[in-house]
Structure 1
Amino acid sequence: MTLGLSAAQLAAGTASADDGSTPSTASDTDNGLRITGPPTVDAYAYPGESFAFLDSVRYLAAPEVGYEFATKRDSYGATPMMTMTTVDGTRRGETVTVPAELVDGMNGIKDGLRVRIVNSQGKVVFDEKRTLCPAGYDTRRIAPNGPSEASYPAFCGGNWFTRSVVFGVDQGWAANLEAYTDVKGVKIGHRLTMTTAITEPVAAFLGIPDSERKLKQKVTVRNASKEWGDDGGFAGEPVEGFSAEGADVGQLMQDVSPGTASAGGIEDSGVVERTPNLYLAEEVKRADNATASAKPGTKGAAPKVADPRDGTLPDLVAEPAWSIGTERQGGKDRLTFNAHEWNAGPAPLVVEGFRRPNKSVMDAYQFFYEDGEQVGYARTGTMKYHAAPGHNHWHFLDFAQYELVTPQGDLVTTSGKQSWCLVPTDPVDMLAENAAWRPELIGLESACGGKEATWMRESLPVGWGDTYAQYQTEAFDLTGVPNGTYKIRITVNPDGNLHEVTAENNVSLRKVVIGGKPGARTVKVPKIDGVDTETGDYLFATESARTAGTASMSSHSHH
């Protein structure tokens, strides 16, 4: 088998592929990416239906050298740029730029994967090109030469305000490729042949020889009722959540613009050297075994600090509102919107609640970390149990504020949303210093808690944000609000109770034009930085997932 191309050969191979010639390869050493999987898989159909569900098992493997991809954009409307770097142990190879025509926004490599299925008569029943996301929720170790745990995020993609994402395949690991397929025109008992291939232009760039870029699998269509019941799921049905056992969130998190980042741009730092976020590895282990205390000032706790150092602080940022609309609910017209706040670092935001003895509230404390070690804490507010449909968990009361204001900044009305359960739902800047690439390691089972909880930890790791959908009673009540131009003002840390690096980026404003008449109000939302954020509702967290103690990245509401 052939070696994946070096940085120089990658560039040369891409150029030759563009002019129609055959790209060069290096040596006979097994050093590059390859597609692999079992020779036989199953599909499932229900009796009487000509429709099957197929969730194949197939991987992109990196047996000897890891491959890291980083994509970033400098403004909301900028075109994302992707780079690729090979990683051999601690040695990083040359970073090369992925050709623009191969970049699908923040989602991965454009048209990099082709899935083709034929029936036993040779008729094509499915043929589709897909974005290649070299990540996956189900990573597998294939050799002892790489890291003991997968290091890259389990998905590709982002939201309107994502600045940068990172994905890849670790040395000695294989990443699960998106595999779900609906196949029409087939029935129980049919036998199919499925070929999954890295497409030729992408294979040329990655240095994957023809013999290693394709995987052929035999498929048998089985009875879903016998396997899963008449009202059950089917083979491989995704489960909400983004742990190793969760859904393939890479296909749920779809990039929604040609470029989204904070206005004013970000530094052109490329792939940064990341220091290990020991908070995610060590402190969480202690937290999982922690016992409740009325206050953190017990023996062995770190001392309280009145003025924590900047290196131990988060930087909370409010992004503009998006997915803005109107609804009629409870006899009232409301203005709905999504709100998004995130942590730019350099340290995680960690807030813990300690229940007052025999009381229904918790005292909230912010904890500070330096080089992975807890170095202090400070009182920062209150947590209360929110007993309401879709909630039934603990909320932190001092995180954000949502207001509708006039163009001059005068208050018109406030949102009904006054408390939060903080978990990382959206990647925003995976190239930020100390960014957490696998936030599921935090142990989100402690994030929201049940009624009986005596201790709570809520967190926003560096590089991650939390998206909330404001609708029904949490949206703006438009009763008595005249038609006209207004702004949605989002303020994170409105009371200044949370310690952070700066408050200069804590407020965002989004212009809206309200029209219509009572019972049928309308809203127009001008573009921001040339980008229309109202083309779809891409929301990546569910309240049910919070109640269950995991974060989910799917198109549902989040309270």
Structure 2
Amino acid sequence: MSDPLQKRRRRSRLMTYGAVAAALGLTAAGVGVAQAAATPAPLSLVAATGQVTAERYEDDGESYLSLDLGLHVIAGKDPLEIWAKRTGYDKPIKAERVVVKNGKKTKVTVPAELVPDFNGLKDFTTISIADPAGTVVKEYKTPFCGNGYSSARTRPDAPAANPYPQGCGGYNPFTLGAVWGVQAGWDARVDDYPVYDPDAESFDLPVGQYTATATVNPVYQKLFGIPQAQSTAQVGVTVVEGDTDRGGLARIKAADAGQAAAAPDEHSIHDAEGDAKRQVSSYVNELRAPAKRPTPLKAAPSGGPRPDLRSLPAWEIALEQEDGKWYVNFGATVWNAGTSPLLVDGFRRTGTELMDAYQYFFDAKGNQVGSRPAGTMEWDNREGHLHWHFTDFAQYNLLDSTQKLSVRSGKEAFCLANTDAVDFTIAGAKWRPENTDLSTSCGANTTIAVREVLDIGNGDTYSQYRPGQSFEVTDLPNGTYYIQVLANPEKKLAELDTTNNSALRQIILGGTPEARTLTVPPVHGIKG
């Protein structure tokens, strides 16, 4: 069974294939030089090349298409920057564009109908694909957020760094706030696949010649002041049979199924440094923990910045039967809404599979000012793990209708990583965290110290099919239950507030022992 969380990112996986080469091609195509020579448009839509080749595969009666049109939006003399936020799960998203006027930043409201969710600006681009006779064979609209994984500056006078996040941040149904942007003089990839629809057939084109025309839709041309001449790009497309010997079919099938082609990851898929307001997070420039405990350890200060761990309601909940037993699987997210990152260093007890964990504290400038013991870390040698787990981060409980404990999840330890942009609009949010997956977190068994971090505005998600993300309900009676996601269960971590550590999600078990059923009511209209 494929992971639905991964499926939601199918489109972005397909887009990123060949993205680096395409981004580098912008300057080769003359875009950088041309724009540096004159005052650039506020935004421009460009194609990196005039001709691309798409590979088509067939397997077991299904077709798969690897298409990269190489479309980019380039920002002019000022960045494109949009903040989107909702104050509650049942509240609409309010989006504002940051505009620079006379050297000062002001905010302009973006029409609500253009931002129905956190996946970006709705229907930003129309892509029309025509055959040699000029007959349109495909036409669809794509969203745009600007937060690219392969963004680069396209002219010599552009700023040296891109502050904006990587990824739109809309796949977690309980996202609260996002920031989207394109740095001045930098490019951002434009989605060139239709929005993913699990009920639709795979996107496909027969072998042959086509012309793809991409156009920024009129509402955005007017909103952002995009000249008509800079709002359209055209690309010739040659569709050929793919070479399966090069692993193309495996790659495209994995992307189409929403499965990562890389090694298995215990987390969901993990997705720039900002201005002076974000300097509190500067500590993370070095993710490795020191080799030994500081001597002496400074006591935790009585005041100052602190993390604030908050749990989101369980999501993507599903019923599964395995070896004659019934399980409720779920995804869970704990995020940091505080004024300081949560930073925990582990120091190995020589010759053992245990580390002593310490939480560290920082002042408003990001200087380390103290620490305190925070439990332990343990080495997890199970397949799919093979890293250090912090044992005092969260707990999952299944409560009965009176909210008394029925079952405790087997998941009791965690590798901290910044997997989700839960709310990048809060003060001090780290837009570009460094430890976003297990390749940048949690260490190997040959290490003597580990640093695990949860940055401001970021969440740590364990998706529903990861080991321990379940409750066995085989012998539980039918009725109403609550999945509890509980952060900092033993209160060993110092926080701003511990009253918001618990989140409950109602579920209803039914059916018979042979055919159990599961109903998951929405939370404030959210069905995720």
Amino acid paired to 1:393: H
- Tell me what 2:113 maps to: 101
Q: Distance in 2 between matches of 1:480 and 1:470?
A: 21
Deviations 1:246-284 (A, max 9, x none): xxxxxx999xxxxxxxxxxxxxxxxxx964434655x33
Amino acid paired to 1:344: A
Q: Distance in 2 between matches of 1:438 and 1:202?
A: 27
CA gap of 1:308–1:224, structure 2 versus 1, over 3 A, is: farther
Q: Distance in 1 between matches of 2:182 and 2:334?
A: 29
Contact 2:40–2:76 (Cα < 8 Å) also in 1: yes
Structure 2 residue 174 is matched with structure 1 residue 161: yes
CA gap of 1:455–1:308, structure 2 versus 1, over 3 A, is: farther
Contact 1:126–1:183 (Cα < 8 Å) also in 2: no
- Tell me what 1:41 maps to: 52
- Tell me what 1:194 maps to: 212
Deviation at 1:164, TM superposition (A): 0.8
CA gap of 1:478–1:148, structure 2 versus 1, over 3 A, is: same
Structure 2 residue 369 is matched with structure 1 residue 372: no
- Tell me what 1:150 maps to: 162
- Tell me what 1:329 maps to: 322
- Tell me what 2:278 maps to: 277
Superposed counterparts of 1:60-139, under 5 Å: 60-87=73-100, 91-139=103-151
Amino acid paired to 2:40: D
**Which deviates further from its counterpart, 174-183 or 212-221?**
174-183
TM-score by length of 2: 0.81
CA gap of 1:442–1:58, structure 2 versus 1, over 3 A, is: same
Q: Distance in 2 between matches of 1:441 and 1:507?
A: 25
- Tell me what 1:414 maps to: 408
Amino acid paired to 1:420: F
Deviation at 1:479, TM superposition (A): 3.5
Q: Structure 2 regions of 5+ residues with no counterpart?
A: 1-37, 195-201, 261-268
CA gap of 1:306–1:276, structure 2 versus 1, over 3 A, is: closer
| Aligned partner (choices 327, 335, 354) of residue 361 of structure 1 | 354
Q: Structure 1 regions of 5+ residues with no counterpart?
A: 1-27, 242-251, 255-272, 535-559
Structure 2 residue 71 is matched with structure 1 residue 58: yes
Q: Distance in 2 between matches of 1:91 and 1:316?
A: 37
Deviations 1:505-551 (A, max 9, x none): 0112222222222232222222322x1424xxxxxxxxxxxxxxxxx
Deviation at 1:499, TM superposition (A): 0.9
Contact 1:191–1:219 (Cα < 8 Å) also in 2: yes
Amino acid paired to 1:458: E
Deviation at 1:322, TM superposition (A): 2.3
Q: Distance in 2 between matches of 1:157 and 1:226?
A: 33
CA gap of 1:59–1:92, structure 2 versus 1, over 3 A, is: farther
Q: Secondary structure at the match of 2:326?
A: strand
- Tell me what 1:268 maps to: none
TM-score by length of 1: 0.77
Percent pairwise identity: 36
Deviation at 1:240, TM superposition (A): 8.4
Superposed counterparts of 1:295-374, under 5 Å: 295-297=293-295, 303-311=297-305, 313-370=306-363, 371-374=365-368
Q: Distance in 1 between matches of 2:454 and 2:464?
A: 20
| Aligned partner (choices 186, 189, 204) of residue 176 of structure 1 | 189
Amino acid paired to 1:394: W
Deviation at 1:340, TM superposition (A): 1.5
Q: Distance in 2 between matches of 1:235 and 1:481?
A: 39
- Tell me what 1:434 maps to: 428
Deviation at 1:330, TM superposition (A): 3.1
Deviation at 1:429, TM superposition (A): 1.0
CA gap of 1:212–1:470, structure 2 versus 1, over 3 A, is: closer
Deviation at 1:35, TM superposition (A): 0.6
Amino acid paired to 1:186: P
Q: Secondary structure at the match of 1:456?
A: strand
Deviation at 1:314, TM superposition (A): 0.3
Q: Distance in 1 between matches of 2:444 and 2:403?
A: 39
Q: Distance in 1 between matches of 2:212 and 2:482?
A: 52
Deviation at 1:343, TM superposition (A): 0.3
CA gap of 1:338–1:353, structure 2 versus 1, over 3 A, is: same
Deviations 1:205-228 (A, max 9, x none): 111121110011122334531893
CA gap of 1:150–1:444, structure 2 versus 1, over 3 A, is: farther
- Tell me what 1:220 maps to: 238
Contact 1:333–1:519 (Cα < 8 Å) also in 2: no
CA gap of 1:176–1:236, structure 2 versus 1, over 3 A, is: farther
Q: Distance in 2 between matches of 1:416 and 1:81?
A: 39
Q: Distance in 1 between matches of 2:215 and 2:73?
A: 10
Contact 1:195–1:216 (Cα < 8 Å) also in 2: yes
CA gap of 1:78–1:297, structure 2 versus 1, over 3 A, is: same
Q: Distance in 1 between matches of 2:211 and 2:444?
A: 48
Q: Distance in 2 between matches of 1:196 and 1:464?
A: 34
Deviation at 1:64, TM superposition (A): 1.0
Contact 1:145–1:171 (Cα < 8 Å) also in 2: no
Contact 2:417–2:435 (Cα < 8 Å) also in 1: no
- Tell me what 2:461 maps to: 467
Contact 1:161–1:319 (Cα < 8 Å) also in 2: yes
Q: Distance in 2 between matches of 1:332 and 1:501?
A: 41
Q: Distance in 2 between matches of 1:484 and 1:229?
A: 48
- Tell me what 2:153 maps to: 141
Contact 1:384–1:394 (Cα < 8 Å) also in 2: yes
- Tell me what 1:395 maps to: 389
Contact 1:64–1:145 (Cα < 8 Å) also in 2: no
Q: Secondary structure at the match of 1:55?
A: coil
CA gap of 1:184–1:235, structure 2 versus 1, over 3 A, is: closer
- Tell me what 2:375 maps to: 381
CA gap of 1:497–1:47, structure 2 versus 1, over 3 A, is: closer
Contact 2:337–2:456 (Cα < 8 Å) also in 1: yes
Deviations 1:365-410 (A, max 9, x none): 1111221222222110111111112212211110111112233332
Structure 2 residue 446 is matched with structure 1 residue 447: no
Structure 2 residue 281 is matched with structure 1 residue 292: no
Q: Distance in 2 between matches of 1:43 and 1:495?
A: 54
Aligned residues: 469
Q: Distance in 2 between matches of 1:235 and 1:488?
A: 34
Deviation at 1:421, TM superposition (A): 0.8
- Tell me what 2:20 maps to: none
- Tell me what 2:263 maps to: none
Contact 2:418–2:436 (Cα < 8 Å) also in 1: no
CA gap of 1:185–1:414, structure 2 versus 1, over 3 A, is: closer
Deviation at 1:442, TM superposition (A): 7.0
